[in-house]
Amino acid sequence: QSALTQPASVSGSPGQSITISCTGTNSDVGSDNFVSWYQQHPNKDPKLLIYEGTKRPSGASNRFSGSKSGNMASLTISGLQPEDEAIYYCCSYGTYSHWVFGGGTKLTVL
């Protein structure tokens, strides 16, 4: 299974909104609604931001939102804050009973 495709980097200024894309195939992102998104700060463990494509777990900020269309999922961060600077990973459960992560997107808050 190939990794999901994410842009290597995105950037935005404080207060702005940015969107990170995550492209897969009919066998993973497009097969069902089990896309999740994680935030990882340097030398820290990942934190779940979005699950099942669009849902936020308890404790996740409502500035994070998820969506999906076909084989592409997206994470939008609104009202960018300096602490949002991190690497973001998408992950999808696939029809072959595997999970696959994206390569990660480094967000820089200018």
Residues that bind other proteins (CB under 8 A): 1, 3, 32, 34, 36, 38, 40, 45-48, 50-52, 57, 87, 89, 91, 93, 97-104
- In the complex with other proteins, the residue whose CB is nearer, 51 or 109, is 51
As measured in angstroms, the least distance from the Cβ of 58 to other proteins is: 9
- Residue 26 near residue 13 (C-beta atoms within 8 A): no
As measured in angstroms, the least distance from the Cβ of 25 to other proteins is: 16
Q: Which of 86, 100, 97 is nearest to 23 (CA)?
A: 100
As measured in angstroms, the least distance from the Cβ of 45 to other proteins is: 4
As measured in angstroms, the least distance from the Cβ of 74 to other proteins is: 16
- In the complex with other proteins, the residue whose CB is nearer, 89 or 109, is 89
What is the C-alpha separation between 12 and 30, in angstroms, rounded?
Answer: 28
60 contact partners, CB below 8 Å, separation of at least 6: 47, 48, 49, 50
The b-or-e profile of 35-47 (16+ CB within 10 A means b, else e) is bbbbbeeeeeebe
- In the complex with other proteins, the residue whose CB is nearer, 96 or 110, is 96
